[in-house]
A and B are shown apart, each in its own frame.
Chain A
């Protein structure tokens, strides 16, 4: 593992040399030394140190705080301030640049070491956190579903791009929104009670919502420890419009096709019986020796068709049910109420 490289920004030559020595003694590598903010910024373009030690009081147009601010805007390199004396105004200014620590001059060798190590550790942790966030964000945006996490007061904790778009907000990751707003389409109207249900039962609640032509399956999943008072809820919108349309089409077409087939089947029975009738008539006209055999065969075919007929009658309940639930066609059997009335009156 290469040694930790440190860049020094110090306008006083002796101070700079002193620090350089101390750092080298402690096993760090020196990435470079700059004597003003400007030269530091130029030098840093070519190198990428692990850490920067920055004197607050630099001579020149930029002091250490200005320089640190510029660095923070350009790179993610932790900065530690070196200072002999610090008034409150200077410290307040320095604080804004989120420094990783302060080393007071004259410095103690052990203090330098511990402050640097703390800064490096903190920086690593922050990088790790940022990386985790990035991963989560990539994952969250990779799913087409709109997803967001809200707390028990319905404040948004996090949301993905799809959700941001759905509720018409900028996706500022991890920035808490004031509250969960209900949009103009009434998208969230049914949400309130479902939300309460989820929080009370601590169980996943799922329901479907229809908004114009769109269908969504919404699931609310409680996130957190079972006895935690501040349970969060993960809200997920899953677009099921295509599925719904497909299902609708399938049931509609399926049922009407079934009905069509059944009609065909009835016609088929008619078409079997008519020739049987003709054959029977002709055979009865001529008293040939095969007549009884032919009539027997007709009898067998007829009883088969008869059984089909009974099946048709018995399938009626099923057909009626299907038609009633999946198609509202006026020609559907069972809706001939006019005729029934006429007879019963």
Chain B
């Protein structure tokens, strides 16, 4: 059974999300803040962390940095689930460290259904990266690929959210894309990793209205 660590300061969100996750076949650990999350990670090894952004006193980004700083928790995939829309700058800064972001409110049942796939994809990617490191002995390039892949994916997602409004440095983004493709070919990663760089791959629609089909 896969374990999800849920970090959110809103008790109602924690309660309802836990319910849905448990119904969806996950073991759930819940933390009401960044400090508690870091504390829980000392004794448990979740398969995915669902992280809220707006928390006091340690916010989501600080928590993310703490997670990535520790070698034990570094490879654990993090999915941001937030009421506050991430800003382009935040994506530039943290985009390479997260799987994706989801802006509340969302249909939990849809999210829960997509989480297995998210975990599988993330593990698939990290496994492949580790394999390339072992085989080719170029850890720098492999990690760069991992970071760029995430960053490009998140950037695309954000662009889609902003309905392609001019918000980011297009030149920088294009250079990142080119570098990603270069590494992809050079290191010989399977093409399936590029398939989901076209945006939100959680099957989550922004409009909750269409998501009540199970009514």
By a beta-carbon cutoff of 8 Å, the part of chain A in contact with chain B is 266-267, 269-282, 284-285, 287, 291-292, 295-296, 298-299, 302-303, 306, 309-310, 312-314, 316, 333-334, 336, 339-340, 342-344
Contacts and interface: CB of A to CB of B under 8 A. Distances in A.
Contacts of B206: 306
A295 B83 contact: no
Interface string B76-87: 000000111101
A302 B210 CA distance: 13
Given A267-B54, A302-B208, A278 B85 contact: no
Given A275-B12, A277-B105, A282-B16, A292 B83 contact: no
B16 to A, nearest CB: 3
B191 interface: no
Contacts of A276: 104-105
Contact of B92 (A279, A309, A343): A343
A296 B209 contact: yes
B82 A280 contact: no
A306 B84 CA distance: 10
Contact of A333 (B20, B89, B162): B89
Interface centre among A277, A312, A333 (most CB of B within 10 A): A277
B106 A334 contact: no
A110 to B, nearest CB: 98
Closest 6 CB pairs of A and B: A273-B83, A281-B16, A270-B83, A278-B12, A339-B93, A299-B209
A284 B109 contact: yes
Given A291-B212, A299-B209, A316-B87, A343 B10 contact: no
Contacts of B1: none
Interface centre among B54, B105, B106, B172 (most CB of A within 10 A): B105
Contacts of B109: 284
A321 B92 CA distance: 19
A284 B107 contact: yes
Nearest to A297: B209
A333 B103 CA distance: 22
Interface string B30-74: 000000000000000000000001100000000000000000000
A313 B167 CA distance: 8
Interface centre among A274, A291, A310 (most CB of B within 10 A): A274
Contact of B54 (A270, A275, A303): A270
Given A270-B82, A343-B95, A280 B208 contact: yes
Contacts of B107: 280, 284
Interface in B184-215: 206-209, 211-212, 214-215
Interface centre among B88, B94, B208 (most CB of A within 10 A): B208
A314 B168 CA distance: 11
A306 B104 CA distance: 10
10 contacts: A266-B54, A284-B212, A295-B209, A295-B212, A299-B207, A302-B208, A303-B207, A312-B85, A313-B162, A336-B89
Contact of B87 (A272, A313, A339): A313
A280 B212 CA distance: 10
Given A273-B84, A274-B83, 20 more contacts: A273-B105, A274-B10, A276-B105, A277-B12, A277-B106, A278-B10, A278-B12, A280-B105, A280-B106, A280-B208, A281-B17, A284-B212, A287-B215, A291-B215, A298-B208, A302-B105, A312-B87, A316-B87, A316-B88, A340-B92
Nearest to B110: A284
Nearest to A266: B84
A298 B151 CA distance: 31
A274 B85 contact: no
Contacts of B214: 284, 287
A229 to B, nearest CB: 60
A312 B84 CA distance: 11
A196 B93 CA distance: 53
Interface string B91-128: 01111100000011111110000000000000000000
A336 B20 contact: no
Given A270-B84, A295-B211, A310 B162 contact: yes
Contact of B147 (A277, A282, A284, A343): A343
B51 to A, nearest CB: 13
Contacts of B172: 344
A340 B208 contact: no
Contacts of A287: 214-215
Given A282-B16, A316-B87, A292 B212 contact: yes
Contacts of B94: 339
Contacts of B95: 343
Contacts of B15: 278
A317 to B, nearest CB: 10
B170 to A, nearest CB: 15
A196 to B, nearest CB: 47
A319 B92 CA distance: 18
B83 A343 contact: no
